[in-house]
Amino acid sequence: MTGVLLFGVFIVCLFIGVPISISLGVSATAMILFAQNIMAPATTASIPLRFYAGLDSVSIMAIAFFVLAGNLMTKGGISRRIVKFASILVGRVRGGMAVALVLACAFFAALSGSAPATVIAIGSMLYADMVKAGYPGPRTAGLLVVSGGLGPVIPPSIIMVIYCTLTGASVSGMFKQGLLVGILICVVLIAVALWYAKKENWPKQEEHHTAMDILKIFFDAIPALLTPIIILGGIYSGILTPTESSVVACIWALIAGTLFYHELKFSDLIEILYDSAKSSAMILFIISASTAFSWVFTFSGLSSSLVETVVNMHLSSTLFCLIVAIILLIFGTFMEGTAICVLLVPVLWPIAQSLGIHPLHFGMIVCVSNVIGTMTPPVAVNIFSATSVTKLPMGQIAKAEMPFLVGYVAVFFLTVFFPWFSTCLI
């Protein structure tokens, strides 16, 4: 009955259009008010305390700094030079600009950690030129949507930081495995793009670049290319924690944008800081509200009852992972990835832990499934982001993305059924 009250209030709030963060807080408060026999001695004063506790973490600061770093890099010209460098590498291959789009998304993913930001940043720089060169608009937009999904997979990843904050898993371990999964997704997307390039006779770049041109573009891109090396190298070497690395990324982006590229003006900083603060506040508020929700879920005994029920079903760890993957994919069709993570991980992780599932394996399932949700209607923030760049109808993009999405989903189920793929680098 208590479970019906907690989740019933939450679902009703969502149904009437209440934001998810407020819905989480309201349902947690309702449990304390109307289930005092179970929740005593907790009072409504416990809710704001849990809100605060949800943000009382050093690692969670990395979210705000990575959001700021991504905005500084976009405004400072770093992402544009990465795109130009990727184009020069593969431009003369048939469909080479499509390959460049995937590579550019991968590079930008290592800067921003956000799927929608990757779609908008790379799409605004490449889409119009690709269509003008003869690439089919819907197919290009579909590739952009799926390639943008590399944002939360290739580290640094905001969802990975949130997951590790909720479960205590190793952030650097998640980042290492995310890099491996991200590289495989890149290979699959490039293979599908090249197959369609041959099948549909996509154009190839006829412009010839001399060795001097290539060197000039490379040297111009060095500060931009150093950015992911500084971020990931600092973490993997053990010199920097993920939070420290996010701060260093902001400083380097500011230096590169102002001193090297001269595209970032100090007058731009107010708008960048405002946008970053707004995006970060939205994410952090959801996390704090979910902390209160998960505390009520645990304190009321619902968590232990759910764990006991699932354990008594004698599910294998593989079958449980498959069920979780399906649940996450369904939730991803109508909820944003960050919200799904903070809502379901506190509920599902104790069960996964009782079945002996490795935290990195479970984390990769959560992370990649949430990314797939950004590409599938009706929420599909990646598709909405692509429509703002391409001006194509949402349905047209959703249809054109299917071949690339199938490849992405294939890699996802590889992480579900083969735990070693999510733990082999630790």
pLDDT tens-place string over residues 319-349: 988 888 888 887 777 666 777 787 788 888 8
- Cβ–Cβ < 8 Å for 393, 380: no
Q: What is the pLDDT averaged over residues 230-256? A: 82
Tokens of 239: 């010199």
pLDDT tens-place string over residues 74-93: 788 777 787 777 777 766 67
Residue of 283 and 273 predicted with greater confidence = 273
pLDDT tens-place string over residues 15-73: 888 877 788 888 888 888 887 767 667 777 888 888 887 777 776 777 788 778 877 87
The radius of gyration of the chain's CA atoms, rounded to the nearest angstrom, is 22
Asked if residue 207 has pLDDT above 70, the reply is no
pLDDT tens-place string over residues 416-426: 998 888 888 76
- Cβ–Cβ < 8 Å for 63, 280: yes
Domains of the chain, residue spans: 2-423
Which stretch, 73-77, 142-146, 273-277, 335-339, has highest mean pLDDT? 142-146
Quick one: pLDDT band at residue 105, thresholds 50, 70, 90? confident
**What average pLDDT does the structure give for the chain?**
81
Tokens of 364: 């990769």
Q: Which pLDDT belongs to residue 30?
A: 85
Asked if residue 412 has pLDDT above 80, the reply is yes
**SS3 string of the chain?**
CHHHHHHHHHHHHHHCCCCHHHHHHHHHHHHHHHCHHHHCCCCCCHHHHHHHHHHCCCCCHHHHHHHHHHHHHHHCCHHHHHHHHHHHHHCCCCCHHHHHHHHHHHHHHHHHCCHHHHHHHHHHHHHHHHHHHCCCHHHHHHHHHHHHCCCCCCCCCHHHHHHHHHHCCCHHHHHHHHHHHHHHHHHHHHHHHHHHHHHCCCCCCCCCCCHHHHHHHHHHHHHHHHHHHHHHHHHHCCCCCHHHHHHHHHHHHHHHHHHHCCCCCHHHHHHHHHHHHHHHHHHHHHHHHHHHHHHHHHHCCHHHHHHHHHHHCCCCHHHHHHHHHHHHHHHHCCCCHHHHHHHHHHHHHHHHHHCCCCHHHHHHHHHHHHHHHCCCCCCCHHHHHHHHHHCCCHHHHHHHCHHHHHHHHHHHHHHHHCCHHHHCCC
- Residue whose entry in the numeric block shows the structure tokens 């001399």: 210
Q: What is the pLDDT averaged over residues 97-116? A: 78
pLDDT tens-place string over residues 302-325: 767 766 776 677 778 889 888 888
What's the whole-model pTM score? Answer: 0.75
Q: Rounded to an integer, what distance in angstroms lies between the CA atom of residue 217 and that of residue 223?
A: 11
